[in-house]
Amino acid sequence: EAQVTQNPRYLITVTGKKLTVTCSQNMNHEYMSWYRQDPGLGLRQIYYSMNVEVTDKGDVPEGYKVSRKEKRNFPLILESPSPNQTSLYFCASSLLGEKLFFGSGTQLSVL
Partner 1 sequence: DQQVKQNSPSLSVQEGRISILNCDYTNSMFDYFLWYKKYPAEGPTFLISISSIKDKNEDGRFTVFLNKSAKHLSLHIVPSQPGDSAVYFCAASVQGGSEKLVFGKGMKLTVNP
Residues that bind partner 1 (CB under 8 A): 4, 31, 33, 35, 40-45, 48, 50, 58, 90, 92, 94, 96-105
Shorter beta-carbon distance to partner 1: residue 4 or 110: 4
Q: In this structure, are residues 25 and 49 in contact, taking their beta carbons and an 8 Å threshold?
A: no
Cβ 65 to partner 1 shortest distance, Å: 19
Cβ 35 to partner 1 shortest distance, Å: 8
Shorter beta-carbon distance to partner 1: residue 20 or 102: 102
Cβ 37 to partner 1 shortest distance, Å: 8
Shorter beta-carbon distance to partner 1: residue 11 or 100: 100
Nearest to 79 by CA among 30, 13, 28: 13
- Could you give the CA distance from residue 21 to residue 110 in angstroms, rounded to a whole number? 13
Nearest to 106 by CA among 39, 4, 8: 8
- Could you give the CA distance from residue 111 to residue 105 in angstroms, rounded to a whole number? 19
